[in-house]
Amino acid sequence: MNKKNNVLSKFNNQKFIVLLVVIALFIFFSIMSPNFRKYTTVLSILDYSYYIILMAIGVTFPLITGGVDLSIGTGLICYSLAGGYLIVHCGWPTWAGMLVSVLFGVLIGLLNGCLVSLMNLPPFLATLCTCMITRGLGSLCSKGFGIPWPTAGTEGSWFRNIFKITVGETKYPIGFIWMILLVIVMGFVLNHTKIGRYTIAIGSNKEAAMLSGINVKFYHTMAYVISGFFAGLAAIAYSAVFATVQPGSGAGFELEAIGGAIIGGVSASGGVGSISGSLIGVFVICLLKTGLPYIGLQANWQQIITGLVLIGAVLVDILKKKKAVK
């Protein structure tokens, strides 16, 4: 007898469906454009997906608590600019710059957590503000200039090899392996550790969680710290793939990450979500982003379509809930 409960199996169904969508999109673009079928395209898709995947992994936590973190996009640019500035203009070693980026992310995550959990500000508003603040801070750190992290071949550029290595003539996207590892690790954290468990509890029924003696304020804050931490990692991934990091950019990244997470099964009202689902959802977004130009649509169509897909995913979520009530 199938003892697996309904919610979970429907949820696994959603992940499966989204995976099918990913494959279908890939096939579709491959058919429509011979240029799409090349290995370099796959490399490109993966390169440009790392930072979004990392953001999505992190933002899944605030989303599961029923909140949101809108600061991850401009945040990662800020952290990258800060770390990059120290590397390029202050002569810091690359690893130190990377560390600063991540710590900066954790700090802003802590700020978000305090605003939402301790001061009870609405999450979208609190993180909207930190989004603006990090945008300004980032620009200040780099004195308004774009920062190129050490380019391939120069000293200190080893960090790019984390994501892609060149062996002979071919490049290998080993970054993807790290992503899978992180998904496994964070999936473990979400489902098998206290932090993850209590994050879900808070999103499911904050009152009941409090009555059960859980330190809700602490764990609620931690969800945002995790989001900030991964925004910091995303900063490194972004710098590794793009030549220059420009201040003032970053707005819209969060849509891709949050959209990916919701497509992958995270519920906007909280309590439900998986890391692997977020990963698959992000690939839908990345495929659209990369593939649309190949069928002649300008890259900016991707923004429109991503927005519509996000609304679609949420409507599906709402309709599912309505049916469940009946």
Partner 1 sequence: MEKIKQNPLVKKVGFNRVVLCCVLILMYVLFCIASPNFVGLPRILSALNYAYFLGFLSLGVTFVIATGGIDFSIGPVMFCSALVSGYCLTSYGMPVGVSLIISIAVGLLFGIFNGYLVAYWSVPPFIVSMASMNIAKGVASVFTKTQSVSWPQGASDQGWFRKLVKIGNIPVGLFIFIAVAIICAMILNKTKAGRYILSLGSNKEAVRLSGVDVKKWEMLAYVICGILVGIAAIFFVGAYTTVQPGYGDQYNNEAIAGCVMGGTSMAGGLASIAGTVIGVFIIALLQEGILALGFTKDYQLIITGIIVIVAVYADVVARRRKN
Partner 2 sequence: MGEVILTMKDIDKSFPGVHALDHVSFEVQKGEVHALMGENGAGKSTLMKVLTGIYTKDSGSIIFEGKEVEFHNAREAQDAGVVIVHQELNMLGHLTVAQNIFIGREFKKGIKIDDKKMNEEAKKLFDKLNIDIDPTETMSNLTVGKQQMCEIAKAISHDAKVIVFDEPSAALTEAEIQELFKIINDLRKQNLGIVYISHRMDEIKVITDRVTVMRDGTYVGTLITKDCTKDDIINMMVGRVIYEDPKSKSMVAPDAPVVLKVEHLNAGKMVQDVSFELRKGEILGFSGLMGAGRTETARAIFGADPKQSGKIYVNGKEVTINSPEDAVKCGIGYLSEDRKRYGIVVQKTVAENSTMAFLENFVKGLFIDKKAEKDIAQKYVDSLATKTPSVDQLVVNLSGGNQQKVVIAKWLVRDCDILIFDEPTRGIDVGAKNEIYKLMNKLAEEGKSIIMISSEMTEILRMSDRIVVMCEGKKTGEIGIEEAKQETIMNMATREIK
Task: Using CB under 8 A, list all residues that contact partner 2.
Answer: 3, 5-8, 188, 192-194, 197, 200-201, 203-205, 207-209, 211-214, 271-272
Residue 200 binds which entry of partner 2, partner 1, none, CB below 5-8 Å type-dependent: partner 2
Map the footprint of partner 1 across residues 182-241, applying CB under 8 A. Answer: none
**247 Cα distance to chain centroid:** 19
**Nearest distance from C-beta of residue 299 to partner 1, angstroms:** 8
Residue 208 binds which entry of partner 2, partner 1, none, CB below 5-8 Å type-dependent: partner 2
- Residue 97 tokens read as 């710059």
Map the footprint of partner 1 across residues 13-72, applying CB under 8 A. Answer: 68, 70
**Nearest distance from C-beta of residue 314 to partner 1, angstroms:** 5
Q: How many CB atoms lie within 10 A of CB 242?
A: 17
Half-sphere exposure of 101 (CA within 13 A, CB side): 33
257 binds partner 1 (CB under 8 A): no
- Residue 60 tokens read as 């899944």
Report how far residue 201's alpha carbon sits from residue 7's, in angstroms, rounded to the nearest whole number.
16
Q: Which of 125, 165, 177, 295 binds partner 1 (CB under 8 A)?
A: 125
For tokens 């969060």, the residue is: 254
**Nearest distance from C-beta of residue 178 to partner 1, angstroms:** 28
**Cβ-contact 137, 122 below 8 angstroms:** no
The CA distances from residue 104 to 49, 97, 117, 143, in Å, are: 22, 10, 20, 17
Q: What are the DSSP E strand ranges found in the chain?
A: 165-167, 170-172
**Cβ-contact 64, 70 below 8 angstroms:** no
**295 Cα distance to chain centroid:** 26
324 binds partner 1 (CB under 8 A): no
**Nearest distance from C-beta of residue 75 to partner 1, angstroms:** 12
Residue 148 DSSP label: P
251 binds partner 1 (CB under 8 A): yes
Residue 147 DSSP label: B
Q: Which of 99, 103, 129, 174 binds partner 1 (CB under 8 A)?
A: 129
**Nearest distance from C-beta of residue 319 to partner 2, angstroms:** 16
**Nearest distance from C-beta of residue 214 to partner 2, angstroms:** 5
State the virtual CA torsion across 248, 51, 305, 291 in degrees, nearest 10.
120
Please identify, using beta-carbon distances, which residue of 167 and 325 lies nearer to partner 2: 325
Please identify, using beta-carbon distances, which residue of 80 and 94 lies nearer to partner 1: 80
Binding region for partner 1 (CB under 8 A): 68, 70, 115, 119-122, 124-126, 128-133, 135-140, 144, 247, 251-252, 254-255, 258, 262, 268-269, 298, 300-308, 310-311, 314-315, 318
